[in-house]
Amino acid sequence: MPELPEVEFLRRSLDPHIKGRVIQSVDLRLAKQVRNLGAAEFCRRLTGQRILSTSRRGKYLLIHLKGEVLVVHLGMSGQVSFWDHKKKGSGGFSVHPVTGLQRAVGQHEPDKHTHALFLLDHGDRIQYRDIRQFGRLLLLKPTAVDSFPTFARLGLEPLGRGFSYAAFRRAMQEKKGMAKALLLSQSTVAGLGNIYADEALFRARIHPKRRMETLSEDRWKALHKAIPEVLRQGLKNRGTTLMDYRSAEGAMGSNQERLLAYGRAGLPCKRCKTVLVKIQVSQRSSVFCPACQPLG
DNA sequence: AATTCGCCCTGTCGGC
DNA sequence: TGCCGACAGGGCGAAT
């Protein structure tokens, strides 16, 4: 799913439910989802811990406890939801036969794809579900987060105060290679995935295969402007739900209705009516307008 | 040092 | 109906 806007909206919807609560126990059903610890240590270190706050770095959700940080990455299909014992469940998920979207908005019972439950008091719980199992859980000491390889690699926060044109230009300056590949790498700007990278390149009128070292100054400026724009629009619309993405309360986003490039191959460009084209870049599909986003 | 390429998974869809 | 390949919001580690 889950790029920066989806993770941030998830964080905002989850935070008020879990802040100040104590994890009574952990039911880890698929141990390999925890990438840096064995199951026993993971569960032991979390048990009895109070949740202090939540934050986000790139596409990573961080849940801060006393002396521990639980890191959640949703991969392609991960979901984190809050189960409220006072509300009724809406059962499991089912796939809508026409739209392909998973039905069942609202809280759902754990199923075979639910890999971890963090049990709070009164029967409430945080549920972690991931069909494709590409997501990951980490448990780190607070002082070890920034130096953990995953985080050490990450670039600028595009919605943070530090995302000035000067900082962006400096971070991008020495980068070579194709524009789309660089945006997907997380190494200069953190949080863009296949959807928002295509959207940002469309807005900035940059071909996905354009070599970064050949970008003109006005395209650099356009890209710096477009990145926060597409992310803020996604956040405003509560994320993009294509299949799996839900907020902590099970709600779908609506940004899929506003995408200009992603998913629109074969349809006319909303700027110039030229038919949008899909190509492979870095083993990911990229949709762009051959007229608005020339390679040369 | 910087790219590229498998690979990790399950599920859905279209073609035959 | 079924089988098979392609594809899907991502990232890591090995190979080049």
Per-residue model confidence as pLDDT tens digits over A37-75: 999 999 999 999 999 999 999 999 999 999 999 999 999
**pLDDT < 70 positions in chain A:** 1, 91-105
User: What would the DSSP string read from start to end of A46-102?
Assistant: HTTPBEEEEEEETTEEEEEETTEEEEEE-TTTEEEEEE-TTSPP--S--B-TTT--B
Please tell me whether residue A28 adopts helix, strand or coil conformation.
strand
Distance CA A144, CA A151 (A): 10
Active site residue A284: yes
Please, which positions of strand B sit below 7 A from a protein CB?
2-13
Angstrom CA distances, A36 to A68, A116, A137, A138, A265, stand at 13, 15, 8, 6, 39
What pLDDT, on a 0 to 100 scale, did the predictor assign at position A103? Answer: 61
Length of chain A: 296
Nucleotide nearest residue A77, measured CA to C1': C9
Structure tokens at A91: 């059962």
| Catalytic member of A56, A59, A125, A219 | A59
C-alpha to C-alpha distance for A275 and A268, rounded to whole angstroms: 4
- The C-alpha R_g of chain A, in whole angstroms, comes to 20
Residue A3 catalytic? yes
Q: Output the distance from A133 CA to B8 C1' rounded to whole Å.
A: 8
Q: Which parts of the protein come within 7 Å of strand C, by CB position?
A: A 1-3, 6, 58-59, 73, 75-77, 132, 134, 149-150, 153, 184, 186, 193-195, 240-245, 262, 283-285
